[in-house]
Amino acid sequence: MARRVALVTGASRGIGRAIAVELARRGHVVAVNYRKRDEEARSTVASIRSNGGEAEAFKADVSKPDEVDRMFESIEATLGSVDILVNNAGWGLISPLTQMTHELWERHLKVNLGGAYLCTRRALPGMLGKGWGRIINVSSVAGIQGLAGLVAYSTAKAGLIGFTKALAQELRGSGVTVNAIAPGFVRTDMGVSFFKFFGEDPDQWASRETLTGKLVEPEEVARVVSFLASDSASNITGQVFIIDSGLSIAGGGLYRFASRLQELGK
Ligand SMILES: NC(=O)c1ccc[n+]([C@@H]2O[C@H](COP(=O)([O-])OP(=O)(O)OC[C@H]3O[C@@H](n4cnc5c(N)ncnc54)[C@H](OP(=O)(O)O)[C@@H]3O)[C@@H](O)[C@H]2O)c1
C-alpha cells in the first residue's frame, strides 16, 4: 500500500485516536491534531511510534482559520502535503433550542462544520495537484435522524452530509473522493457522557435498544475510515456510512434516547 500523509483532526482521544492508530498501522504518516489535551495527544503519538509507525502532534483549534493555516504550514514543512484528511474533531452540548444562546449555536457550527470546511479548503490544492486524495467527514446519526436536545449539533452534522455530497460532485474526475461516516453511540468520552447524565449503564442500554446489542467500538469506526482512505475505495464518493449497531432502524430507540436528552436540558 502507498504511504500517504494523513491528518486526523481531534485525534488525542476517542474515535480520532483510533483512526490515527489504524491509519499508521496501514503504513501512513499521521498528523495527530488536537485542541488542548497535550498529554493525550502525546500518548496517541507514542502509541503509534511504539508500534513502528510515524506520527507527529499538531495543536490547533479547527474552528479558527489562523490556527488551521499555521497547522497546515507546519504539517507541510515536516511531513509533506496532506493526502488523507479525516475531519473528525467534534463537540456537542445538550441544549434545547429555546435555551440556546447565540454563542453556543455558533460554536457548534464553527467546530463541527466550520472546522471541516477550513481543513478541507486548505488540504484540497495539494490533493488536486497530485490527482489523489481522500476526505472523510465524521458526521453522526444525529445528522440523519435529528436528536432532540441536540438541535445545534444535529444541524452541524447534517450540514456535513450536504458538504460531503456537494463537494464530491465538485471534485468529479479529480481523483479526490469525499465520504462521510455517521456513527451511532461509540465507546468514547463523548459517547458515554450522555449515559452518565441518565445514570444508565451504556452496555445495558445498547443490549436493549440496538440490533446487535453492543455499543460501537472506536476501532470498528477506524476500520471503515481506513477502508475509505485506501486505493480500494477509489470508486466510492459522496456516500454516508452509518455505523450504529442498527440503532437507527431498531424501532424507536434513538427517538426514546433523544426524548430523554430533551428532558435533561429543561
Ligand atoms: N462518540 C460517539 O458516540 C459519537 C457518535 C457520533 C458521532 N461522533 C463524532 O465523532 C467525532 C469524535 O467523537 P469522540 O466521541 O471521539 O469525541 P471525544 O472523545 O470527545 O474526543 C473529541 C476529540 O476532538 C478534539 N476536539 C474537540 N474540539 C476541537 C477543536 N475545536 N479543534 C481541534 N480538536 C478538537 C478533542 O481534542 P482535546 O482532547 O484536545 O479536547 C478530542 O481529540 C466527533 O465529531 C463526534 O461528533 C461521536
Domains belonging to the chain, first-starting first, are: 5-265 (3.40.50.720)
Pairing, β 29-34 against β 5-8: parallel
User: Does the beta carbon of 13 sit less than 6 angstroms from any atom of ligand 1?
Assistant: yes
Out of 40, 68, 71, 188, mutate this one to test ligand 1's pocket (max ligand atoms within 8 Å of CB): namely 188
State the Cα torsion 150-253-224-24 to the nearest 10°: 60
The protein residue whose alpha carbon is closest to atom 36 in ligand 1 is: 10
- Tens-place pLDDT, residues 181-195: 999 999 999 999 988
Out of 15, 196, 245, mutate this one to test ligand 1's pocket (max ligand atoms within 8 Å of CB): namely 15
Q: Percent of the chain having pLDDT more than 90?
A: 91
Ligand 1 atom nearest to CA at 185:
3
Catalytic residues: 153
Determine how many CB atoms are found less than 10 A away from the CB of residue 173. Answer: 6
Task: Specify whether the CB–CB gap between 41 and 34 falls below 8 A.
Answer: yes
Q: Which three cell numbers stand for residue 100?
A: 440556546
Of 30, 32, 27, 59, which is closest to residue 43 (Cα–Cα)?
32
Instruction: Please tell me the chain's helix, strand, coil percentages from 3-state DSSP, rounded to the nearest 5.
Output: 55, 15, 30
pTM for the model: 0.97
User: Does the beta carbon of 244 sit less than 6 angstroms from any atom of ligand 1?
Assistant: no
Residue segments in the chain with a per-residue pLDDT below the cut of 70: 1, 266
* Interior angle at CA 85, CA 82 and CA 91, nearest 5: 135
User: Does the beta carbon of 35 sit less than 6 angstroms from any atom of ligand 1?
Assistant: yes
Distance 3 CA to ligand 1 centre (A): 26
Give the DSSP letter string of 109-135.
IIIIIIHHHHHHHHHHHHHHHHT-EEE
Q: Which three cell numbers stand for residue 103?
A: 454563542
Out of 7, 13, 214, 219, mutate this one to test ligand 1's pocket (max ligand atoms within 8 Å of CB): namely 13
Evaluated on CA atoms 167, 21, 244, 106, the torsion sign reads negative
- Tens-place pLDDT, residues 225-244: 999 999 999 999 999 999 99
User: Does the beta carbon of 187 sit less than 6 angstroms from any atom of ligand 1?
Assistant: no
User: Does the beta carbon of 245 sit less than 6 angstroms from any atom of ligand 1?
Assistant: no
List Cα–Cα distances, 20 to 28, 54, 86, 137, 248, in angstroms: 9, 10, 9, 14, 27
